[in-house]
Amino acid sequence: MIAPSILSADFARLAEAADSVSRADWLHVDVMDAHFVPNLTIGLPVVKSLHAATDIPLDCHLMIDDPDRWAPPYAEAGAANVTFHIEAAHDPVATARAIRAAGALAGLSVKPGTEIEPYLDVLREFDTLLVMTVEPGFGGQEFMAEVLPKVRLAREHVRSGHLRLFVEVDGGIGEDTIEAAAAAGADVFVAGSAVFGADDPGCAVESLRSTARGSMAV
């Protein structure tokens, strides 16, 4: 699945940006609070408005402090998938259950320097694992191939039946990197500048999807 990131879109024309990628699987929304990461983007009111403006399922990535408090309202606002960072959570299991109870999928994200082995049992409570392939906070960074072993490990556990979740990657995803991420086992790909920096964002989505399908791990 391809999830274009509106972090790379024109914030004054978010509804138009969504329309330009109408065949995307998810629309990735980066929520940053200038505390957990050194950047400030958008919050709950914009997500509510965007949900009303598009039929594309919203994939909200919360790079914020205190996600235990703030994550469930994003599900209540209509997000299809709400992901928060393990590094910021106090009770990830309770938060995941609250997100699910509000009607959304629950996602857990890890920074490049965070290993997933300590959280394999916790991940049974989640629908999505988001492996950051850049340091969270800003778009346009270079893809970090050194984190792909985490993607492979997650895929192995999905294949064995220990976990049942999407394996998502976010950061530096484009035509030159999506093949490696797909081969490692990712099945959801967040792409920002590779989509919204293209002359035709819709065609960019289709091209990325085709490239990923040809390289995906079985």
What is the per-residue pLDDT for 217?
66
In this predicted structure, the answer to whether residue 133 has a pLDDT above a threshold of 60 is yes
Choose, from 30, 33, 59, 187, the residue flagged as catalytic. 30
**Residues found in the chain:** 218
In this predicted structure, the answer to whether residue 218 has a pLDDT above a threshold of 60 is no
CATH 3.40.50.970 fits 2-213, yes or no: no
Q: What average pLDDT does the chain have?
A: 96
CA torsion through residues 27, 28, 32, 36, sign = positive
In this predicted structure, the answer to whether residue 111 has a pLDDT above a threshold of 90 is yes
Choose, from 59, 127, 170, 187, the residue flagged as catalytic. 170
Instruction: Establish whether 66 is a catalytic residue.
Output: no
Instruction: Establish whether 30 is a catalytic residue.
Output: yes
Look at strands 58-63 and 105-110 and give their pairing.
unpaired
159-186 per-position pLDDT tens digit: 999 999 999 999 999 999 999 999 999 9
Domain boundaries defined on the chain: 2-213
Confidence bin at 141 (pLDDT 50/70/90): confident
27-55 per-position pLDDT tens digit: 999 999 999 999 999 999 999 999 999 99
Q: How far is CA 133 from the centre of its chain?
A: 11
What is the per-residue pLDDT for 138?
78
